[in-house]
Homo-oligomer: A and B are copies of this chain.
Amino acid sequence: MSLSRREIAAEATGPTIVAGEILVEIMATDRGMGFLEPLTLVGPYPSGAPAIFIDQVARLGGGAGLIGCVGRDDFGTINLERLKRDGVDVSAVDVSDRYPTGSAFVRYRRDGIRDFVYNIAESAAGQIHLTTAARLLADRAGHLHVMGSTLSVAGLKEIVAYALKAVRARGGSTSFDPNMRKELIDGADGEQFAALVDDADLLLPSGDELLAAAGVDDQHQAVTALFARGVGEIVLKRGADGSSWFGADGTRIDCAGFHVEEVDPTGAGDCFGATYLTCRRQGMEPGKALFYANAAGARNVTRRGPMEGTAGFDVLDDFIAGTARAT
């Protein structure tokens, strides 16, 4: 456990990198139960939380690199082409001849709950490992973002361990989105989880994840405990209700959400986190970064397709000018 205060490294230190699943998403256009009869679907959409995150970093002009694996098929190509177009360094995205690109079928029930048919573990996305290209990317990175949700893939742990060291060695920083399954936090992987929390210059929990990350039942206690462990700053995602920033000196900034018509919520949290981080790496103050992050998350839910709503500052400024905020 380190008690030195962490700081997010400036853009000049090197690109932001992330590792994890690249998927296509195929969604049902009408609501109902699962995929038990032929339906009208739409897809493939580029997807995968780490891919959405890094695409948004690149859209904002931030240096951006992704460590992942796709299959040698159209579903891999659609992702690679999109990421390249938006400015992401895909030199560390492996292409598998054997495994197909990962996929997620999603259908909304009438009550808003989603049914999924996933192919991740036995797809190319499950074959990610620490390749030479991944090492080379990590060796010149300025910031590592880690998503708890991806750590169940075997190869991810080795990549994160290597990249953490590499980034730290050159004065870079880390952020951690602790969206990890409860079983993993409690289980054998709890130690890595705790180390990632301790090491985070920026922690990006949503809702109860803040309490789970700190291991306490109260928000104020959680924030205090996390700063005592050396966390640099904490940003709490509250979805449509906006977000809050906590500083180690006890200050707090609340930022109201935007009023939007939700079309597709997938990817909103990733766009939010990527925008907050990238604004900070570009030297923006926490309050302003939070405001842009709220805008990026809100705008993303107005577009069908998890990566279709990623946006640069010009688009976000237009969105902000035209959209009411909650009070």
Contact = CB atoms under 8 A, between A and B. Distances in A.
Contacts of A81: 36
Contacts of A34: 74
Most chain B beta-carbon contacts within 10 A, residue among A38, A43, A99? A38
Interface string A5-44: 0000000000000000000001000000011111111111
Contact of A41 (B42, B103, B122, B305): B42
B40 A44 contact: no
A122 B121 contact: no
Interface in A32-83: 34-45, 73-75, 77-78, 81
Contacts of A42: 38-41
Contacts of A118: 73, 100
Provide the main secondary structure of the chain A interface: mixed
Contact of A122 (B38, B103, B122): B122
Contact of A115 (B26, B74, B122): B74
A271 to B, nearest CB: 18
Contacts of A98: 121-122
A34 B74 CA distance: 7
A99 B100 CA distance: 13
Given A35-B75, A42-B38, A78-B35, A119 B119 contact: yes
A36 B122 contact: no
A45 B75 CA distance: 20
A258 to B, nearest CB: 25
A77 B35 CA distance: 9
A44 to B, nearest CB: 6
A40 B38 contact: no
Nearest to A308: B38
A26 B119 CA distance: 15
Contacts of A39: 42-44
Nearest to A78: B36
A88 to B, nearest CB: 18
Interface of A: 26, 34-45, 73-75, 77-78, 81, 98-100, 103, 115, 117-119, 121-123, 305
Contact of A74 (B41, B43, B78, B117): B117
A316 B187 CA distance: 59
A103 B42 CA distance: 16
A307 to B, nearest CB: 10
Interface centre among A36, A99, A119 (most CB of B within 10 A): A119
A117 B41 contact: no
16 contacts: A26-B26, A34-B74, A35-B75, A36-B74, A38-B305, A41-B43, A73-B117, A74-B115, A74-B117, A98-B122, A100-B117, A100-B118, A100-B122, A119-B119, A119-B123, A122-B122
Contacts of A123: 119, 122
Contacts of A41: 26, 40-43
